[in-house]
């Protein structure tokens, strides 16, 4: 559910529509030319629209059936925090990992800063270890004598938070 705000709600809707259609160019266009972002899976900052577009192109190539669900939106003046769940099948190179064919669930939160027309900053914190577990590259976490899927546990929590 998006909270109505003069700047944030339309931009978030446009972002979600572009993500649903896997349109990396359109997503990049919603970001400022001077955009600065940090994603926990990256060793460096993402700067500018070209870098945003490249990051989403890589994701959509690696997970061509990816879907994004927003679980909660919180706003504060020129900032918004969005918790989300992404699902898809690992079918292409991602973080130098060749395709595993595994279905993945990735949960996280993005804190975005806006100006009048664009997203100017982004901090993306998400369960990279859960993604690697879903890709069968890390062992499952033990829980009371049996294994559990941490990503599914987190996704269920976010859906009902």
- What pLDDT does 43 receive? 81
Please provide the distance, in angstroms rounded to a whole number, between the alpha carbons at the two ends of the chain: 13
Residue predicted with more confidence, 50 or 74: 50
Q: How far apart are CA 150 and CA 104, in angstroms?
A: 11
- What pLDDT does 5 receive? 47
Taking the mean position of all CA atoms in its chain, how far away is CA 62?
13
- What pLDDT does 155 receive? 67
Taking the mean position of all CA atoms in its chain, how far away is CA 140?
22
- What pLDDT does 160 receive? 65
Q: What are the structure tokens assigned to 100, written together? A: 């595993």
Q: What are the structural domains of the chain?
A: 8-159 (3.10.450.50)
Top mean-pLDDT range of 31-35, 112-116, 144-148, 153-157? 31-35
pLDDT in tens, 54-73: 999 999 999 999 999 998 88
């Amino acid at each position: 559910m998006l909270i109505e705000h003069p700047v944030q709600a339309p931009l978030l809707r446009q972002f979600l529509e572009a993500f649903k259609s896997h349109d990396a160019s359109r997503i990049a266009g919603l970001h400022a030319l001077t955009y600065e972002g940090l994603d926990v899976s990256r060793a460096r900052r993402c700067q500018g629209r070209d870098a945003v577009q490249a990051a989403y192109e890589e994701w959509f190539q690696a997970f061509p059936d990816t879907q994004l669900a927003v679980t909660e939106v919180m706003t504060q003046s020129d900032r918004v925090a969005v918790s989300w769940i992404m699902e898809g099948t690992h079918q292409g190179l991602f973080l130098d990992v060749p395709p595993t064919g595994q279905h993945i669930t990735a949960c996280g939160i993005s804190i975005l800063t806006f100006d009048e027309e664009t997203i100017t900053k982004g901090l993306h914190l998400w369960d990279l270890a859960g993604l690697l577990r879903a890709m069968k590259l890390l062992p499952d976490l033990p829980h009371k004598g049996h294994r559990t899927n941490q990503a599914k546990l987190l996704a269920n929590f976010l859906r009902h938070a």
